[in-house]
Amino acid sequence: MEYLKTARKTAATDERNVRDTVQSILDDIEAGGDDVARRYARELDGYDGEIVVSDEVRAAAAGQVAQKLKDDIRFARDNVRRFAERQRASLQDVEYEVVPGLVAGQRQIPVSAVGCYAPGGRYAHVASAIMTVTTAKVAGVGHIAACSPPKPGVGMNPAVLYALDVCGADRILNLGGVQGIAAMAFGLFGTPPARVLAGPGNQFVAEAKRILFGRVGIDMFAGPTESMVIADATADPMIVAWDLVGQAEHGYNSPVWLIATDRALAEEVARLVPRCIAELPELNRENATRAWDEYGEIILAESREEAVRISDGYASEHLQVQAQDLDWWLANLTNYGSLFLGEETTVAYGDKCSGPNHVLPTKGAAHYTGGLSVGKFIKTVTWQRATREANRAIGQACARISRLEGMEGHARTADVRLAKYFPGENFDLSAAS
Q: Which residues are catalytic?
A: 317-318
Hey, how many other C-beta atoms are within 10 angstroms of the C-beta on 129?
A: 33
Same domain, yes or no: 42 and 180: yes
Q: Is 338 exposed, middle or buried (0-12, 13-18, 19+ CB in 10 A)?
A: buried
Domain total of the chain: 3
Question: Do the domain assignments include residue 205?
Answer: yes
Range of the domain at 291: 2-13+224-368
Count how many residues are written for the chain: 433
**Could you report how far apart the first and last alpha carbons of the chain are, in Å?**
54
Question: Do the domain assignments include residue 204?
Answer: yes
List pLDDT tens digits, range 161-208.
Answer: 999 999 999 999 999 999 999 999 999 999 999 999 999 998 899 999
Same domain, yes or no: 210 and 228: no
More confident residue, 9 or 284: 284
List pLDDT tens digits, range 62-94.
Answer: 999 999 999 999 999 999 999 999 999 999 999
List pLDDT tens digits, range 4-60.
Answer: 878 887 765 555 568 899 999 999 999 999 999 999 999 999 999 999 999 999 999
Same domain, yes or no: 241 and 255: yes
What pLDDT was estimated at residue 13?
Answer: 52
Same domain, yes or no: 208 and 229: no
- Is 60 exceeded by the pLDDT of residue 418? yes
Report the DSSP pairing between strands 113-117 and 143-147. parallel
CB distance 316 to 360 below 8 Å: no
Same domain, yes or no: 201 and 233: no
Question: Do the domain assignments include residue 168?
Answer: yes
What pLDDT was estimated at residue 12?
Answer: 57
What is the distance between the alpha carbons of residues 164 and 185, in angstroms, rounded to a whole number? 18
What is the distance between the alpha carbons of residues 82 and 114, in angstroms, rounded to a whole number? 20
Claim: this prediction has a pTM higher than 0.75: yes
Same domain, yes or no: 115 and 143: yes
Q: Dihedrals φ, ψ of 123, to 5°?
A: -120, 150
Residue 201, classed as helix, strand or coil, is coil
- Identify the domain boundary among 336, 360, 379: 379
Same domain, yes or no: 279 and 356: yes
What is the distance between the alpha carbons of residues 146 and 180, in angstroms, rounded to a whole number? 9
- % of the chain beyond a pLDDT of 90: 91
List pLDDT tens digits, range 351-388.
Answer: 999 999 999 999 999 999 999 999 999 999 999 999 99
What pLDDT was estimated at residue 431?
Answer: 86
pLDDT band at 433 (very low <50, low <70, confident <90, very high): low
Question: Do the domain assignments include residue 24?
Answer: no
What pLDDT was estimated at residue 17?
Answer: 67
Question: Do the domain assignments include residue 22?
Answer: no
Residues 6+ apart with CB under 8 A from 139: 84, 88, 110, 374, 375, 376, 377, 378
Amino acid of residue 165: D
List pLDDT tens digits, range 305-343.
Answer: 999 999 999 999 999 999 999 999 999 999 999 999 999
Same domain, yes or no: 157 and 230: no
What pLDDT was estimated at residue 260?
Answer: 98
Residue 263, classed as helix, strand or coil, is helix
Question: Do the domain assignments include residue 249?
Answer: yes
CATH, residue 309: 3.40.50.1980
What pLDDT was estimated at residue 3?
Answer: 86
Same domain, yes or no: 215 and 231: no
Does an H or E element contain 42, and which?
A: helix 34-45
What pLDDT was estimated at residue 15?
Answer: 54
Residues 6+ apart with CB under 8 A from 409: none
- Identify the domain boundary among 368, 398, 418: 368
Report the DSSP pairing between strands 94-99 and 143-147. unpaired
Question: Do the domain assignments include residue 258?
Answer: yes
- Identify the domain boundary among 357, 379, 401: 379
Same domain, yes or no: 214 and 340: no
Same domain, yes or no: 186 and 202: yes
Same domain, yes or no: 267 and 355: yes
Q: Dihedrals φ, ψ of 390, to 5°?
A: -65, -25
Question: Do the domain assignments include residue 144?
Answer: yes
What pLDDT was estimated at residue 1?
Answer: 78
State the average pLDDT over residues 117-135.
Answer: 89
